[in-house]
Amino acid sequence: MSDINWQELSKAAEGAYHKAYAPYSKFQVGAAALAQNGKVVCGCNVENASYGLTVCAERNCIAQAVIQGDQEIKGLVVYTETEKLTPPCGACRQVIVEFMDSKAIVKSVNHLGKEKQWTVAELLPSAFTPKDLED
């Protein structure tokens, strides 16, 4: 995964953060991913008055990659402006597993320059994957 420019992904995720629609929680999140085809794709959280219809930044980001024709993500960054670094929620972890290798890296970064990273396998051990549907 050395071919990933994490600084570029972090800046893209920060840009997406500023586009987030979070009038209810006031918790903005931006995400950026490097698709297998080399494109950087972004997403932000989009809330809804019917809270259950809210879509997280990570899922919007991955959906953008799929829309652009790429179903393999090499690396993902989640950006927030909170002191505590924010990992993906459970729903996002399941979607991440669908489109990223178990050894791929997901990073959480913030406006203070802090960062933390996990492999996909660390985020969701014993994940239910497409392979579980075989047989």
Positions annotated as catalytic residues are: 58
Q: What is the spatial distance between Cα 25 and Cα 47, in angstroms, rounded to a whole number?
A: 8
- Identify the residue whose tokens are 């791929």: 104
Q: What is the pairing mode between strands 30-35 and 73-80?
A: antiparallel
Q: What is the spatial distance between Cα 1 and Cα 19, in angstroms, rounded to a whole number?
A: 28
Q: What is the spatial distance between Cα 125 and Cα 8, in angstroms, rounded to a whole number?
A: 28
What are the tokens at 131?
Answer: 């392979």
E strand segments, the chain: 30-35, 40-44, 73-80, 100-110, 115-119
